[in-house]
Structure 1
Amino acid sequence: MEETTTLDIETLKEQYIPGPQSLHLQRPPVPDDVIYTVGLYGWRKRCLYFLLLLFLVTMIVNLALTVWIIKVMNLSTGGMGNLQLSQDGIRLEGFSEFLLPLYVKEIQSRRDGALVLRSERNVTLNVRNSQGHLTGQLTVGSDSVEAQCRRLEVRSRADGQPLFSADADEIRIGTKTFTVTGSEGAVFRHSVETPLIQSSASEELKLESPTRTLTMGAPRGVEVTSAHGALTVGGRKDLQLQSTEGEIILDAATVRLASLPLGVFAPEPPGRAPPPPPGQATYEVCVCPSGKLYLSPAARSSTCQAVSNICLWS
């Protein structure tokens, strides 16, 4: 007789299907002689120490350079070296050098010193308008001073009166006396308009035109006066005294006509007195029809002749 085996389902579940509370994994036992180490070793450790040392050296060098720059530049809370910052602006002491253009509103020196601008080539001051266009320029070079502007004015410090002004149309000199101290005097290439030309008390006044004509004209007359000395008028060629509507008056205690030529007169006609002897020192002044003057030996009667050699060749 066969035996019947009865399977209990609940018994099988408990035997083969573990529950949630039964899921516990146990680690295998670790031997006592096995040790696990954590960290960097070998070449990785040497590289890390080298980088830390390099960072430390770099930091020390940067700190030393910063201290050196502060010491050399003399940096402080008030400025840098000769450069001091204040509420009024910037103050520079000693010599300062600018390698690029400097834009400032005002440059002022100390009260007890002068303002000096130095340059190896030139010093140029530019003035620009709001659009950036150049309106004025002053250039101080090694051999010239140039000013480019619409009008140049020089005013007196005492009362602010203009002493000198120049523009495209005219040049004005506002001083009472314009003095030229050069040995060659003043050279004017065009006309000059002035109410008075006067020399110093101990100097001579000389008006000269080396290659052209010297003309003086005025609607009411030209007066040439020498109050304390002689007045000399000389010319290489002709000297003309001309008056269209008036007279030429020579008013002096003595009127001398020096270097007049001596005329040679023709043979005397019958009835005229013979000529004076050669040793005679008395002459008369004769006038040719052309207006030329010459000397003729004086006699009892006039020896002036229109056929004299002086009149014929004049």
Structure 2
Amino acid sequence: MEQSATLDIETLKITQDQYILASHSLHLQRPACDAVYPVGLYGWRKRCLYFLLLLLLVTMIVNLALTVWILKVMNFSVDGMGSLRLKQNGIHLEGVSKFQRPLYVNDIQSRRDSWLLLRSDKNVTLNARNKEGQLTGQLTVGPEAVEVQCQRLEVRDGDGGRLLFTADEEEVAMLTDRLTVTGAEGAVFEHSVETPLIQARTSEDLRLESPTRSLTMEAPRGVEVSAARGTLGISSRKDLQLESTEGEILLDASSIRLGSLPLGTHAGSPSQAIQKQAVYEVCVCPSGKIYLSPAESSSSCQAMSNICLWS
């Protein structure tokens, strides 16, 4: 009995101690939450923010003012800008326009009452390209020359219908009725010339000359050289050759003169008779050389003449 009483007393003490601990734990003071942290920008951060906002406002005002000034100076409108007007069929420019970069257009036209002037400090170049971007034609107007690069060059009249001049890799053709050369030195051709007629102006002489080489005139049906109201002169430093392969050479005139023909002699002709001779006959050597021989009762032309022997 004593032992059980002792256990109950100890159990009661333990329970009392737990109650005391529990009551003390309920009366513990919680940590105070009196510290307050402010929210926002204060001090130098606030001043920097206001300064940035003020700088942004000033920048916007200056930008707006510059935009208005540019619109006023450049004369912007709904139709275009300044001398530039936007239309349905293209762009209309008035006055002088400068382009510092390449200009790509399909058509350039001037006003009906004014000229179209293209001006450059160096040169003016017009390029034509195909769909692949390859250069097919180029016109360059420079300070020293005008250069054209194309497969075929054509020049037409004012109406654009009649072809006047063509040039390609094979030939150059002039399709006009008359080609007039007004230079003092005439026209110089380094190679052959094919033409149906060469005619001088009225009251002017026609001169065909080759200073250092030979001059040849050929035609399948004949060559006609005529001077209707003047003289015809043919001179050569060396040989003058008239040749007809199938026909004949005809010298038709009221008077035909062969000047400076050599005088031939034959054996047995006295020298005194030759000196007093007044009438001569024209002889032809087998080689074709022409000379004079004293006329007698019979022909005095001999193949053994000194002219024929030395020809």
- Could you say which residue in structure 1 is the equivalent of 2:6? none
* Structure 1 residues 246 and 59: alpha-carbon distance in aligned structure 2, compared to 1, 3 A threshold: closer
Letter of the 1:284 counterpart: Y
Are the aligned partners of 1:163 and 1:174 in contact in 2 as well (CA < 8 Å)? yes
* Structure 1 residues 220 and 305: alpha-carbon distance in aligned structure 2, compared to 1, 3 A threshold: closer
Distance in 2 (alpha carbons) for counterparts of 1:312 and 1:166: 55
Secondary structure at the aligned position of 2:140 is classed as strand
Distance in 1 (alpha carbons) for counterparts of 2:122 and 2:131: 29
Are the aligned partners of 1:285 and 1:293 in contact in 2 as well (CA < 8 Å)? no
The answer to whether structure 1 residue 275 and structure 2 residue 276 are counterparts is no
Q: CA deviation at 1:288?
A: 5.7
- Could you say which residue in structure 2 is the equivalent of 1:77? 78
Secondary structure at the aligned position of 2:147 is classed as strand
Name the structure where helix makes up a greater proportion of residues.
2
Matches within 5 A, 1:157-172: 157-158=158-159, 160-172=161-173
* Structure 1 residues 45 and 159: alpha-carbon distance in aligned structure 2, compared to 1, 3 A threshold: closer
Stretches of structure 1 that go unaligned for 5 or more consecutive residues are 1-15, 17-26, 29-36
Letter of the 1:251 counterpart: D
Paired residue total: 280
Q: CA deviation at 1:103?
A: 1.4
Task: Using the TM superposition, name which of 172-181 and 205-214 deviates more.
Answer: 205-214
User: Once the two structures are superposed, what CA deviation does each residue of 1:194-214 show, in whole Å capped at 9, x if it has no partner?
Assistant: 222222223322222333332
Task: Using the TM superposition, name which of 81-90 and 194-203 deviates more.
Answer: 194-203
Secondary structure at the aligned position of 1:274 is classed as helix
* Structure 1 residues 151 and 38: alpha-carbon distance in aligned structure 2, compared to 1, 3 A threshold: closer
- Could you say which residue in structure 2 is the equivalent of 1:224? 225
Task: Using the TM superposition, name which of 238-247 and 300-309 deviates more.
Answer: 300-309
Stretches of structure 2 that go unaligned for 5 or more consecutive residues are 1-22, 24-32
- Could you say which residue in structure 1 is the equivalent of 2:280? 284
The answer to whether structure 1 residue 138 and structure 2 residue 139 are counterparts is yes
Q: CA deviation at 1:238?
A: 0.7
Task: Using the TM superposition, name which of 292-301 and 234-243 deviates more.
Answer: 292-301
* Structure 1 residues 45 and 273: alpha-carbon distance in aligned structure 2, compared to 1, 3 A threshold: closer
Matches within 5 A, 1:1-314: 42-158=43-159, 160-261=161-262, 265=265, 274-275=272-273, 282=278, 284=280, 286-287=282-283, 289=285, 290-294=287-291, 310-314=307-311
Distance in 1 (alpha carbons) for counterparts of 2:175 and 2:214: 29
Identity across the alignment (%): 64
TM-score with structure 1 setting the length: 0.73
Q: CA deviation at 1:178?
A: 1.6
